[in-house]
Amino acid sequence: MKEIIIATKNPGKAEEFKTFFAKFNIKAVSLLDLSQSIQDIEETGVTFEENAALKAEQIAKLLNTPVLADDSGLTIDVLDGRPGIFSARYAGEPKDDKANIEKVLAELKNVKVTDRTARFVCVLAVATPDANTIFKKGYCEGRISVTSKGSNGFGYDPIFIPKNYTRTMAELTSDEKNSISHRSNAIKQLEDWLENL
Ligand SMILES: O=c1nc[nH]c2c1ncn2[C@H]1C[C@H](O)[C@@H](COP(=O)(O)OP(=O)(O)OP(=O)(O)O)O1
Ligand SMILES: [Mg+2]
């Protein structure tokens, strides 16, 4: 079976990639699956693209094999796009999904439902040892809920209600999430590349 390394240590993302790639008969191997321990890549870029490239290119060089990385986050209109590229550490170090959610809900405390529009963004970077890095971007539109609900998924899923839904992303099944997510919208654009892997 063909394999691709996914330069992530996020178990939620890793699981989603495994599900998507299984459909192409490709085994997605995350950094959590490797026996050697891999250093954390510093995400010093100022865009999702720069951070995705940092992760993909450094791990591709280290392992001398094609590597896909995902840099993603939540952009909230009334917060001028925050937390954006700072989504993972919005409430500080160490990364804490629950604290991040509480910070967002507190910041939106007095914001009315119609002004709570937001979107998830996912940028994928594929780095190969001997070619230019390629990028694909996907979005999922929605709004921020008033309370946190549901236990599926990861990250900000419990406070994100996708457009045309009444449940949060964390109340959707994984199949429902994967049919509309920013990540699946980005991966769909990689289909041709995956077929030639
Ligand atoms: O589908 C999603 N559902 C909910 N939340 C999500 C999703 N996709 C990204 N997010 C949030 C989680 C994290 O707060 C940030 C990603 O940060 P990001 O640096 O790309 O990932 P990460 O540090 O968790 O793992 P890694 O860099 O090892 O891939 O956006
Ligand atoms: Mg990260």
Residues 130-158 have pLDDT tens digits of: 889 999 999 999 999 999 999 999 999 99
- CB of 71 shorter than 6 A to ligand 1: yes
Are 105 and 168 a contacting pair, CB within 8 Å?
Answer: no
Q: Is the peptide bond before 83 cis (omega within 30 degrees of 0)?
A: yes
Q: How far is the CA of 169 from the centre of ligand 2 (A)?
A: 20
Cα–Cα nearest to 147, from 170, 129, 178: 170
Q: How far apart are CA 185 and CA 178, in angstroms?
A: 9
- Average pLDDT on 12-31 reads 97
Residue pointed to by tokens 């694909």: 136
pLDDT band at residue 39 using 50, 70 and 90 as cut-offs: very high
Phi then psi for residue 42, to 5 deg, are -75, 125
Domain range 2-195, CATH class: alpha beta
ipTM: 0.99
- CB of 139 shorter than 6 A to ligand 1: no
Residue pointed to by tokens 């290119």: 57
Atom index in ligand 1 nearest the CA of residue 69 equals 29
